[in-house]
Every structure is written in structure tokens, then in C-alpha cells.
């Protein structure tokens, strides 16, 4: 018999999610709750409401055929908006395809986000000074990009971080480990988020990995891993702010797992969550809704009214109306432009094809 106790070796360290507000909106950590001023709390919640409105309108626009690809975000407002709220404009965002809300809040004009959804090249032509890349479609690839950008920030002695997001399914990709390992080895200032919304399309997290938590996967890269209640905006902000401060100080990257939930399908491209999720499960998570929790907290502090939120919704809907008008006024793309955008140095064979298409398009 072996004297090695594998049961003991396999006992995972206990990682408890950090929380500031409970599900009733009551504060359970006064010190972390005090990190934001009243004005900042209102602004944070306003951005969360904007994200919910954007999700609802984007869904309708998609169903009307006025938008293309769209990955719903309802339920993840605390995870997405509160983490982005802790960042600086000079920090570099490397989003995945579900991270349009952070990208717009970081500085991308909304009409360009809509153009990206429609596959228009102008959706990737970013304004000068916007520290971000277009949303990554390849699962986990943004982790490798973030590691490289973070190393560049360190070598240029910039007091900033590169931050990126993936879902729970992304932690099963090789790029996830490679990006964290590289950033950890070079102590690059990167914040890696895992938005654990329970499913990689239809595959539940329990079938993705045997790890009790995704946060503890940071151990293999030699970096800190922390788990946070991803439906608690104050907790997400506090953890992100602390991680950013720690990373900018030269200590290297941090992995943050947010426990959250997407109410809608994986994308609007045919996924049906009713085939793999129960109404009881969805109901349990809706009781934890990040907007409801924040409303209760702000109401207790005298910072929220239904009339105020309604005025925001009207403002946001008008902004979206103007953005979609600008999107639909963009010039129709030509086949010759698709070919021209494929390579930096266009091969001769493509140059010949481009000439043929341009001649046809000119008629």
C-alpha cells in the first residue's frame, strides 16, 4: 500500500466568494461598502441600468434584423459594469464577444459597437486614444493578448493594467493557462476575469472541470485567485479595485472569478436555454438580480427613486435610437473592400480580383 494520502493531496483549498451586499441589499462588509461615494454609487447603478436597457433593445433590434451577432448580458451587469468601473481610461481592455457594455463604457461609440455586430469594418476603426481591441470571438484567445499587452505596459513603465474577460468554458482552453502563465512569469500587470455564468453554451460548469472553483486555477500560474459574488456590484468593484492596485504596484496578475448568471441564451443565434436549464434554477438566480440588490441599497440611502430610473431609461433609449440611425447610415460594404481588408500587403492574386470587383461596382 502506498503511504501517500492522495485523498488529502486532492483536498482543494476552500475559497469563499467575497460579498458586500446580501440578496436583500443589506451591507455585510462596511469597510468595502465605503469605497464608493454616494455620487459614484449612483453613477455605477446608472451604468448598470444602461446595460440592462442596451440588452433589451439589442435583443429587439436583432429580432428585427437590424443587428447581427448578439450575446445577451442581462444578469451580468454587476460582473461587467462594476469591474469596468474600477478601471482607468488608460487601462487596456481586451473584451470577449459578450463584453460590449464594458467596451462602450470604456470609450467606444455605441454606433460602432452596433456596426461590429453587423460585421461592418468601420466597427473596428477605433477612435484615437481608445485603449482596447475589438471583441475576441476565439474562446480564450484574449488571455494571450492580455498577457502581451500587459508586458508592454510594464516595459513602457505605464501605471496601468490590461484586463480581459472569458466565461467558465474559456477556462478549459489552452490559451487561458498560457496567458496566465506568461503574465505570471513576467509579473505583467494583467487582471483576468472569469465570468462564471454556469454554462458554456449548454454545457454546465460541473462538466467543464473537476476543480471546485475556477479561481483556484490561478495556483498553477503562481498568481492570486479570488472568487466574488458576481451579482453584487459593490463586491465586484472592491475586488477589482484591490486587484488593480496590487497589480499596478508591480506584483503581477490576478485572476478574478465572478459568480454570475446570464438570463438569456448564450447568443441569439439559435441557442435555447430552456433545453438545458430549469425554470426553478432561473427563478433562484433572478432573486439575486444585481439591479434589484442595488436598488434596495440605494433606496435605503435615499439615492434612488423609480422616477429617476425611468428618466434614465428614456435617456438611454433615445441614445440607442440615435446610435442605430447612425449605424444604418453607414456606407454599404463592397466585395472589393472585404478583399482589401484581408491583408496588410495584398497578394497579387487578390489584387487582380479586387480590380475585377471594383470594375463591376463602378457600373
CATH label, 6-332, candidates 1.10.940.10, 3.30.70.100, 3.40.50.970, 3.40.50.1820? 3.40.50.970
Chain region(s) in the chain for CATH 3.40.50.970: 6-332
Active site residue 120: no
211 in Cβ contact with 217 (< 8 Å): yes
Local structure of residue 132 (DSSP, 8 states):
B
β-bridge pairing 190-196 and 199-200: unpaired
Distance CA(270)–CA(263), nearest Å, equals 15
At 314 the pLDDT is 98
> The whole model's pTM is what?
0.94
Q: Please name every residue paired with 200 in a beta bridge, in sequence order, or none if there are none.
A: 203
Q: Tens-of-pLDDT digits for all 363 residues of the chain?
A: 457 876 776 777 778 899 999 999 999 999 999 999 999 999 999 999 999 999 999 999 999 999 999 999 999 999 999 999 999 999 999 999 999 999 999 999 999 999 999 999 999 999 999 999 999 999 999 999 999 999 999 999 999 999 999 999 999 999 999 999 999 999 999 999 999 999 999 999 999 899 999 999 999 999 999 999 999 999 999 999 999 999 999 999 999 999 999 999 999 988 999 999 999 999 999 999 999 999 999 999 999 999 999 999 999 999 999 999 999 999 999 999 989 888 989 999 999 999 999 999 988
- The helix-helix angle for 141-155 and 174-185 (nearest 10°) equals 10
At 1 the pLDDT is 46
Distance CA(41)–CA(129), nearest Å, equals 27
58 in Cβ contact with 74 (< 8 Å): no
Could you tell me which of 22, 79, 38 has the C-alpha nearest to residue 304? 38
Could you tell me which of 49, 38, 45 has the C-alpha nearest to residue 319? 49
Distance CA(334)–CA(356), nearest Å, equals 12
Active site residue 266: yes
φ/ψ (deg, to 5) at 229: -65, 105
101 in Cβ contact with 128 (< 8 Å): no
At 2 the pLDDT is 57
Active site residue 111: no
User: Which are the contacts of 310, defined by CB distance < 8 A and separation ≥ 6?
Assistant: none
180 in Cβ contact with 255 (< 8 Å): yes
Helix (H) or strand (E) holding 257: strand 254-259
The region, left, alpha or beta by phi > 0 then psi within -120 to 50, assigned to residue 331 is: beta
Q: pLDDT digit string (tens) for 15-25?
A: 889 999 999 99
At 5 the pLDDT is 77
The residue written with cell numbers 455605441 in the block is 110
Report angle CA 123, 127, 131 to the nearest 5 degrees. 100
19, 57, 98, 266: the catalytic one is: 266
52, 120, 262, 293: the catalytic one is: 262
Could you tell me which of 77, 73, 67 has the C-alpha nearest to residue 55? 73
Distance CA(121)–CA(70), nearest Å, equals 17
For residue 164, give the 3-state DSSP assignment. Answer: strand
Q: Please name every residue paired with 258 in a beta bridge, in sequence order, or none if there are none.
A: 195, 228
- The helix-helix angle for 306-328 and 38-63 (nearest 10°) equals 50
**Radius of gyration (Cα) for the chain, nearest Å?**
22
Amino acid at each position: 500500500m502506498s503511504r501517500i494520502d492522495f485523498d488529502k493531496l486532492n483536498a482543494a483549498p476552500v475559497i469563499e466568494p467575497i460579498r458586500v451586499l446580501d440578496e436583500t441589499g443589506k451591507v455585510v462588509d462596511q469597510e468595502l461598502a465605503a469605497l464608493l461615494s454616494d455620487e459614484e454609487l449612483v453613477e455605477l447603478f446608472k451604468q448598470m441600468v444602461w446595460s440592462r436597457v442596451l440588452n433589451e433593445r439589442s435583443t429587439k433590434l436583432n429580432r428585427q434584423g437590424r443587428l447581427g451577432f448578439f450575446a445577451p448580458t442581462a444578469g451580468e451587469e454587476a460582473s461587467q459594469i462594476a469591474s469596468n468601473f474600477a478601471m482607468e481610461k488608460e487601462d487596456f481592455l481586451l473584451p470577449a464577444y459578450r463584453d460590449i457594455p464594458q467596451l462602450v463604457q470604456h470609450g467606444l461609440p455605441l454606433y460602432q459597437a452596433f456596426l461590429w455586430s453587423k460585421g461592418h469594418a468601420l466597427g473596428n476603426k477605433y477612435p484615437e486614444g481608445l485603449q482596447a481591441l475589438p471583441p475576441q470571438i476565439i474562446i480564450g484567445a484574449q488571455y494571450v493578448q492580455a498577457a502581451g499587452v500587459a508586458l508592454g505596459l510594464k516595459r513602457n513603465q505605464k501605471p496601468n493594467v490590461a484586463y480581459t474577460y472569458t466565461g467558465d468554458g474559456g477556462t478549459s482552453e489552452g490559451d487561458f493557462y498560457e496567458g496566465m502563465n506568461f503574465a505570471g512569469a513576467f509579473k505583467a500587470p494583467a487582471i483576468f476575469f472569469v465570468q462564471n455564468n454556469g454554462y458554456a453554451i449548454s454545457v454546465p460548469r460541473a462538466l467543464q472541470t473537476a476543480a471546485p472553483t475556477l479561481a483556484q486555477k490561478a495556483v498553477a500560474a503562481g498568481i492570486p485567485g479570488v472568487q466574488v459574488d458576481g451579482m453584487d456590484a459593490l463586491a465586484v468593484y472592491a475586488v477589482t479595485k484591490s486587484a488593480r492596485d496590487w497589480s499596478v504596484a508591480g506584483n503581477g496578475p490576478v485572476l478574478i472569478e465572478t459568480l454570475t448568471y446570464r438570463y438569456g441564451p448564450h447568443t441569439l443565434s439559435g441557442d435555447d436555454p430552456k433545453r438545458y436549464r430549469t425554470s426553478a434554477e432561473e427563478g433562484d438566480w433572478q432573486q439575486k438580480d444585481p439591479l434589484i440588490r442595488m436598488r434596495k441599497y440605494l433606496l435605503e440611502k435615499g439615492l434612488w427613486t423609480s422616477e429617476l430610473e425611468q428618466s434614465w431609461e428614456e435617456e438611454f433609449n433615445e441614445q440607442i435610437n440615435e446610435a442605430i440611425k447612425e449605424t444604418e447610415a453607414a456606407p454599404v460594404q463592397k466585395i472589393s473592400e472585404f478583399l482589401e481588408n484581408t491583408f496588410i500587403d495584398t497578394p497579387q492574386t487578390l489584387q487582380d480580383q479586387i480590380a475585377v470587383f471594383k470594375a463591376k461596382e463602378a457600373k
